[in-house]
Structure 1
Amino acid sequence: MKSFGKKPDGLRLERMKASLLWAGEAFRNIHPVLPGLRDLGTARPTLSEFLCGGNRRVPRGPLPSLNPSEAWSKAPGTGLRATWLGHSTVLIEIDGVRVLTDPVWGPRASPSRLAGPKRFQPVPVALRALPPIDLVLVSHDHYDHLDYPTIRELARHDVPFVTSLGVGAHLEAWGVPAQRITELDWWESRTLPNAELTVTAAPSQHFSGRGLKDRNSTLWSSLVIRSPRHSVFFSGDTGLTTEYAAIRERLGPFDLVMLEVGAFHPSWGDIHLGPANALEALALLGGGAFLPVHWGTFALAMHAWDEPAETLLSLGPQKGAQLLMPRLGEPVEPAHGHALTPWWRAVDTPERGEVLPEPAAMTMPKSMPWPAD
């Protein structure tokens, strides 16, 4: 199946093996398990619980969204603007350069078009309707971040990619020319030609793999985007790690911080943040306007679809966080701030005690990566 991608080999594999993060046969985290960052007393969910358990895992209908095309036709007045397009896909406009993170337009976070977690929220703008993109960032190779049909479409355009070590093998297999791919180890940087923009791969605490036999065969990273005037942090997927303090010291401060908040579970605390740990990560990074990502698109855990947003709305002000929680497709400039309103409540307000039906299409092939240390 082409959507599985390709395993790294040849010179690419040799470069991967030279990384300090390579441990014999695969990459490793600096901190495989951080005591106290997850509930060790909570059992990991079974596959059956993952597929069928949990109430309100999807909203009753589509979430409010905007078509940002008209807004994109005008440059941001402050030089920095972000448009959340769903899950971890964000269009960042930074001093005249357009950067697209973890682009996913496909219908499922799965290698199959027939099975696996199905998108419950459409992207607010078609892929072909995007303005010209100057750079695509891919944090790691999981299906909800590296999407085969989306990459196949982007491969037709003359846009460069920056990603983590080894992930370029998938991109090449799907039609992206090798000369348009830059793969980074942690703390390595790439400066975009003809633009004053630098991307640096930084630590995260996660894992990788698209099948049963390629666990951690490619690297996972957070990514920092810097121009002379602005700096943006994008977490990719991660658990809470003390490396965030090192990122602040070496690459901060940040005007905009994008952290994953959805698809979490108490037993996954070392590989996913969730909203509470995202606020802790924000503090380690030194603050900055906080745009939560990795929610509102796929049901990838047992919690209610809106739990990340509700928890942030409750805890964020207590922590002094500058929350940016726009509707999908609503461009925001961090310097201007954003009115914090619970827009997501409009679509899903069940009566107390009411149990909503689960989606019928939450089957998952055995080849899907399963969260673990």
Structure 2
Amino acid sequence: MPTRRTILGGFASIPFLAAAGALFAARANPYYAGPVSDHFDGSRFFDPHGAPPRSLGDLLRWQFGSDPRSRWPASWPLESVDVPPPRVEGDALRLAYVGHASWLMQTRGLNILFDPVWSERFSPFTFIGPKRVNPPGIAFESLPKIDLVLVSHGHYDHLDLATLSRLAATHDPRVVAPLGQDSIMKAHDPAIRVEAHDWGDRVEIGNGMAVHLAPSRHWTARGLFDRNKALWAAFIVETPAGHVYHIGDTGYGDGHHFREAGRRFGGFRLAILPIGAYEPRWFMSDQHMNPDEAVQVMLDCGATRALAHHWGTVQLTNEPIEAPREGLAAALAARGLPADRFRAIRPGEAWDVPPATA
């Protein structure tokens, strides 16, 4: 069973982080320099409709307090392993679940990865930190030629530098990320072909498609001393056959961001939404939504269908491994919605998404 310190990722026991803290304190922002905006104060990014991340004291209270923590299995084997086709043409839309927040999306001849993590641990270290309970749902060697990678923010379960370097060496994809995340990647490996964009930016990706960066209710960091020095974002993939809304991490709050996305884009063919890492609620609710809130996001943004992620791969919080999927089923039933409208497939499974009009 992983210890609380292990789940925390080992940060509390690493002495050199104090020196790193002094370095970050001496620099206004090591990742990004740009004008003040409605979500950047000249040093840190913030969400005008969100809440700041919890304090270190709250983190320690959760990690070493009395909140009950379930025991995940050391291994939860995959039921299948996906072998994707080389390309998916036209308006067909295929989604394959790699695990946690990692997806392969194929449509209109483009292969797009969201938040790719193929490492065994979701941690800055290879010997300690949260460890996956199943392998990636697609073997790295089985990936088709990757054209584009979208990285939502800098947390280790979303921005995996080892995987990005491996992709750069084997596929040389274009990488799109929020402001400041490019500095983190380039410092690790200049071969990563990354470009950084702000909320509200539209990025042409070819084949009649574009990517928009949109706000989510979250935050970002790589350590204890660089909170919100870079930006985080949700992605909206614009296609002629309907848009796809991918949120790597978010709390619900008052639902502003999701209603605004639905208003701006006129609804979505598919929303890819997190349903896990939500307990205890006193600590997690501002930045991670639970399954009931995820169903509400699907309705708020006007998504015809949804896929669930952020569950069943690595234990980051207190809930049991199956709880997110069970909670999702209960939330759909309570609203009288069909179970296949919001699916929680396992890593290694894929779904050919029906047309938005079906």
Do Structure 1 and Structure 2 share a fold, with TM-score over 0.5? yes
Of 8, 23, 35, the residue aligned with 2:41 is: 23
Residue 12 of structure 1 deviates from its aligned partner by 6.8
SS of 1:182 mapped into structure 2:
strand
Deviations 1:118-137 (A, max 9, x none): 11111122223210011000
Of 342, 346, 349, the residue aligned with 1:323 is: 342
The equivalent of 2:12 in structure 1 is none
The answer as to whether partners of 1:289 and 1:323 remain within 8 angstroms in 2 is: yes
The answer as to whether partners of 2:216 and 2:247 remain within 8 angstroms in 1 is: yes
The equivalent of 2:109 in structure 1 is 96
Deviations 1:187-230 (A, max 9, x none): 111101x4221010001011111112101101111100012223
Question: Quick one: structure 1 residues 336 and 49, their matched pair in 2 at CA, closer, same or farther if it must change by over 3 Å?
Answer: farther
Pair 1:210 & 2:222 matched: yes
CA RMSD of aligned residues (A): 2.8
Distance in 2 of aligned mates of 1:9 and 1:131: 41
Distance in 1 of aligned mates of 2:99 and 2:118: 9
Any residues of structure 2 matched to 1:1-373 within 5 Å, and which? 13-15=32-34, 17-33=35-51, 45-49=61-65, 53-56=68-71, 58-59=72-73, 61-69=75-83, 71-73=84-86, 75=88, 79-156=92-169, 157-177=171-191, 180-192=193-205, 194-240=206-252, 241-265=255-279, 266-267=281-282, 268-319=284-335, 320=337, 322-335=341-354
Distance in 1 of aligned mates of 2:261 and 2:131: 34
SS of 1:191 mapped into structure 2:
strand
Question: Quick one: structure 1 residues 251 and 86, their matched pair in 2 at CA, closer, same or farther if it must change by over 3 Å?
Answer: same
SS of 1:244 mapped into structure 2:
helix
Higher relative contact order (CA closer than 8 Å, sequence separation 6+): 1
Percent identity of equivalent pairs: 31
The answer as to whether partners of 1:324 and 1:334 remain within 8 angstroms in 2 is: no
Distance in 2 of aligned mates of 1:14 and 1:141: 17
Question: Quick one: structure 1 residues 10 and 297, their matched pair in 2 at CA, closer, same or farther if it must change by over 3 Å?
Answer: closer
Distance in 1 of aligned mates of 2:267 and 2:29: 38
Question: Quick one: structure 1 residues 116 and 43, their matched pair in 2 at CA, closer, same or farther if it must change by over 3 Å?
Answer: closer
Residue 47 of structure 1 deviates from its aligned partner by 1.8
Question: Quick one: structure 1 residues 110 and 43, their matched pair in 2 at CA, closer, same or farther if it must change by over 3 Å?
Answer: closer
Residue 77 of structure 1 deviates from its aligned partner by 7.9
SS of 1:92 mapped into structure 2:
strand
Question: What's the TM-score, normalizing by structure 1?
Answer: 0.79
SS of 1:258 mapped into structure 2:
strand
Question: Quick one: structure 1 residues 44 and 314, their matched pair in 2 at CA, closer, same or farther if it must change by over 3 Å?
Answer: farther
Question: Quick one: structure 1 residues 10 and 113, their matched pair in 2 at CA, closer, same or farther if it must change by over 3 Å?
Answer: closer
Deviations 1:331-369 (A, max 9, x none): 2022179xxxxxxxxxxxxxxxxxxxxxxxxxxxxxxxx
SS of 1:223 mapped into structure 2:
strand
SS of 2:271 mapped into structure 1:
strand
Distance in 2 of aligned mates of 1:9 and 1:162: 24
Deviations 1:252-287 (A, max 9, x none): 321111111111121221111121111111111013
Residue 10 of structure 1 deviates from its aligned partner by 9.4
Distance in 1 of aligned mates of 2:210 and 2:92: 16
Question: Quick one: structure 1 residues 133 and 293, their matched pair in 2 at CA, closer, same or farther if it must change by over 3 Å?
Answer: same
The answer as to whether partners of 2:31 and 2:229 remain within 8 angstroms in 1 is: no
Residue 73 of structure 1 deviates from its aligned partner by 4.4
Distance in 2 of aligned mates of 1:221 and 1:207: 9
Question: Quick one: structure 1 residues 293 and 252, their matched pair in 2 at CA, closer, same or farther if it must change by over 3 Å?
Answer: farther
Distance in 2 of aligned mates of 1:176 and 1:79: 35
Distance in 2 of aligned mates of 1:219 and 1:317: 36
Give the unaligned 5+ runs of structure 2.
Answer: 1-15, 53-57
Residue 113 of structure 1 deviates from its aligned partner by 0.8
Distance in 2 of aligned mates of 1:285 and 1:136: 24
- Greater alpha carbon shift after TM alignment, 281-290 vs 60-69: 60-69
The equivalent of 1:348 in structure 2 is none
Distance in 1 of aligned mates of 2:180 and 2:203: 16
